[in-house]
Structure 1
Amino acid sequence: MVNKERLIDNFINMVKIASPSLNERKIADYVINELTALGLEVYEDEAGKKIGGNTGNIIGILRSPGKKKVMLSAHMDTVLPCENIKPVIEDGVIKSDGTTILGGDDKAGIANIIEAIKVLKEQKFDHPEIIVVCSVAEELGLLGAKNLDVDKYAPDYSFILDSGGKAGVAIVQTPFTARGEIVVIGKSAHAGISPEKGVNALTVAAHAITKLKLGRIDSETTANIGMVRGGEAINIVMPEVTLKYEARSFSGEKLETLLKETEDVFKAITKKFGAKYIDKVDKGYSGYNLKSDEDIVKVFEKACESTGVSCVTKSTGGGSDSNIYSEKGYKAMTIGVGMSKVHTTEEYIEIEDLYTTTKLVVELLKEIAENDSK
């Protein structure tokens, strides 16, 4: 059924196309050609204009008389370095030559989707209405998904092919997030002549940090200060310092509590030292938690059984386009495509994983169509 050589060739062709975030034009044109050749209705939305990129999300629709609508999605952008990628096939593994990333994150997902549709059309399998979404700027904070008018397509199920792990891995729980800056404002003074006239913003921030909850707070919650920037010169009492802060929790309530506690700390400490602070931390995407008895989980489990792979449901501390679609009210699940060591020059994917994931997508669509006909 799945044409392994064709799948590999298509994947290789795509990873050779550089597609850094906000500059996905070339890979988008490639995807448009592939989907159009398969007879899908193909559209490009206005997401690129909204986020300052040169490309919008690419949407392809394969109509069906069935009632169910299924979104299959993967993102087109990759992290750097992604220029002049030279794929190498060795011992059943596809990798780069070591000077760049490979780009399996997430062109493996796109390759899986395209090949699965080719199989459906060749074998004339019944299928639900398929909505293919190849999103932009996922690596910059899910920007393409945030600017997709998902209500226009209203999928019953959404499967985002964008996770590490073997075929059969399903991400059923992800965290609520918040991130941004906390700016502490002190008062400058000459550090050698009159330091007592100043208020060192870094000193104030340091006192506050000792009272914050950071790192692994509990089994559901983490927080981190990843960057600190400030200062004008070595002989000036630092007048301002900016802390880059993020927090995550599987519990929205716990996240709210943590953010309130963090703000209270800065409020109290800056008041004590005669400083000020500006809280620029905003809520990010919402988490989701799919229960084992939900239809989207049951359908995925059955497809895994038909494919002959183990279904592994798990949580993750990261996010994906699934978070955005879930937040907008649509059941979404991120599934594994076999990519490994992503975001590094050691990235690779096993050919067997690429192949098996495509088989799983085919079975997933067949399963949904079969349920739809009952």
Structure 2
Amino acid sequence: MIKEARLIENFLDMVKISSPSKNERAMGDYLLKVLKELGLEVSEDNAGEINGGNCGNIIGVLRAPGKKKLLFSAHMDTVVPCEKIVPVIENGVIKSDGTSVLGGDDKGGIAAIIEMLRVIKENNLDHPEIVVVFSMGEEIGLLGSKAFAIESYGIDYGFILDSSGKPGKIITKAPSAARGKITIIGKPAHAGISPESGINALTVAAHAITKIKLGRVDVETTSNIGIVNGGQATNIVMPSVELDYEARSLSNEKLDNLLAETFKIFEDVCKEFGAKLENTVQVEYPGFALNDDEKIVEIVKNACERAEIKSETASSGGGSDTNIYNSKGVPSVNLAVGMTKVHTLEEHIEIKDLVNLSKILVEIIKG
């Protein structure tokens, strides 16, 4: 029932549409048109307005009164560079020309959802009530899903298409994440004439950094300083330094303990040197954990079995809209799309994976 040529054509059309975070308007207009042509009830919410973007979440509903309500979702935005994506097909693999990302993250997921809807329509398949959400701003903090009023739709289960790996991989666990800036404020002084009268913020930061836990803390937990900004000139004792920090863990308790320990170390070292500390780090999104025997996991496993595709459950070190929907009370899993080397110029996806993902979705709505 899956029409491979149509699926690939749609995918190629979409990746050519530039849609960086908060600038998804062209992609949103494309999807509004497609969903209307498929006969869904279509709307756009105010997620763009809330988050300072030019497009909200695109929502489509395929009614089936009295039946289960299933959510299928993927995000519209891509990381940069994505201004002019030129897709290339070689030996069954779709990639970019090397000057940009491909945008399979997450237009591969969108393409599979659209193909599922087309198969339903042209084959007059019996189906549950389907709510489709194409979210904005996922790559910069899950902004669209946070703003989406999922509670008003009465959804029973959510299937989010936004994981790397082969179709059949079911993400049932993902971490909570905290993110923000740690700023150390020292005291400027002339670096050549009176350095001893200043407080070098970088020196303070360096002492603290040698004491905190960074990298792989344990099997469930990570910690990282990704960006460092500070200083004015080489002849000035650095007056302040700003550290962009994040931490993640599959255990909320471990994350809380790590954050408390990290902040205590920075506070103590700042006090020792006479520096001041400003901290904006906070939990950005909650984690989730589903058991392998839960109904939603069984639904996907059974669909994979009918599609003759191997299934497996796994945990992820990254966040997705799945985290938000689970936190809002909708049991949800993140399904692998087949995208590989995402967020790089080497990103690619195999055509057979797009086909297999579409097959799995059709089997999910069948059963």
Partner of 1:75: 75
Structure 2 Cα separation of the partners of residues 264 and 167 of structure 1: 43
Structure 1 Cα separation of the partners of residues 216 and 95 of structure 2: 33
Structure 1 Cα separation of the partners of residues 345 and 204 of structure 2: 40
User: After the TM superposition, which residues 304-343 of structure 1 pair with which residues of structure 2 at under 5 Å, given as runs?
Assistant: 304-343=304-343
Partner of 1:110: 110
1:100-145, Cα deviation, whole Å (9 max, x unpaired): 2211111111110011011112222211110000001111111111
Structure 1 runs (4+) greater than 2 angstroms displaced: none
Structure 1 Cα separation of the partners of residues 29 and 306 of structure 2: 34
User: After the TM superposition, which residues 222-371 of structure 1 pair with which residues of structure 2 at under 5 Å, given as runs?
Assistant: 222-367=222-367
Structure 2 Cα separation of the partners of residues 156 and 71 of structure 1: 8
- In structure 2, runs of 5+ residues without a counterpart are none
Q: Which amino acid aligns with 1:180?
A: G
Structure 1 Cα separation of the partners of residues 282 and 345 of structure 2: 32
Partner of 2:127: 127
Partner of 1:62: 62
Q: Which amino acid aligns with 2:56?
A: G
Partner of 1:41: 41
**Cα distance, 1:337 vs. partner?**
1.1
| Distance verdict in 2 for CA 1:356–1:104, change over 3 Å | same
- In structure 1, runs of 5+ residues without a counterpart are 368-374
Q: Does residue 192 of the first structure (1) align with residue 192 of the second (2)? A: yes
State the secondary structure of the residue aligned to 1:340.
Answer: coil
**Cα distance, 1:83 vs. partner?**
2.3
**Cα distance, 1:211 vs. partner?**
1.0
Partner of 1:87: 87
Partner of 1:6: 6
Structure 2 Cα separation of the partners of residues 189 and 32 of structure 1: 58
**Cα distance, 1:4 vs. partner?**
1.1
| Residues 80, 100 of structure 1: 8 Å contact kept | yes
State the secondary structure of the residue aligned to 1:339.
Answer: coil
Identical counterparts, % of pairs: 60
Q: Which amino acid aligns with 1:125?
A: L
Partner of 1:167: 167
**Cα distance, 1:65 vs. partner?**
2.6
Q: Does residue 31 of the first structure (1) align with residue 31 of the second (2)? A: yes
1:172-225, Cα deviation, whole Å (9 max, x unpaired): 110111111111111111111111211111111111111111111111111011
1:72-122, Cα deviation, whole Å (9 max, x unpaired): 001111111212322222211112222222111111111100110111122
Q: Which amino acid aligns with 1:257?
A: N
1:214-268, Cα deviation, whole Å (9 max, x unpaired): 1111111110111111112111111111111111111000110111111111121
Partner of 1:139: 139
1:136-172, Cα deviation, whole Å (9 max, x unpaired): 1111111111111111113111111111111101111
Structure 2 Cα separation of the partners of residues 270 and 252 of structure 1: 27
| Residues 66, 127 of structure 1: 8 Å contact kept | no
Structure 1 Cα separation of the partners of residues 165 and 292 of structure 2: 20
Partner of 1:180: 180
State the secondary structure of the residue aligned to 2:61.
Answer: strand
State the secondary structure of the residue aligned to 2:193.
Answer: coil
State the secondary structure of the residue aligned to 2:85.
Answer: coil
State the secondary structure of the residue aligned to 2:286.
Answer: coil
Structure 1 Cα separation of the partners of residues 204 and 18 of structure 2: 45
Q: Which amino acid aligns with 1:20?
A: P
1:314-339, Cα deviation, whole Å (9 max, x unpaired): 11110111011111111111101111
| Residues 182, 277 of structure 1: 8 Å contact kept | yes
CA RMSD of aligned residues (A): 1.1
**Cα distance, 1:9 vs. partner?**
1.1
Q: Which amino acid aligns with 2:321?
A: D
More off after superposition, 336-345 vs 284-293:
336-345
Aligned length: 367
Q: Which amino acid aligns with 2:16?
A: K
State the secondary structure of the residue aligned to 1:338.
Answer: coil
Partner of 1:372: none
| Residues 182, 244 of structure 1: 8 Å contact kept | yes
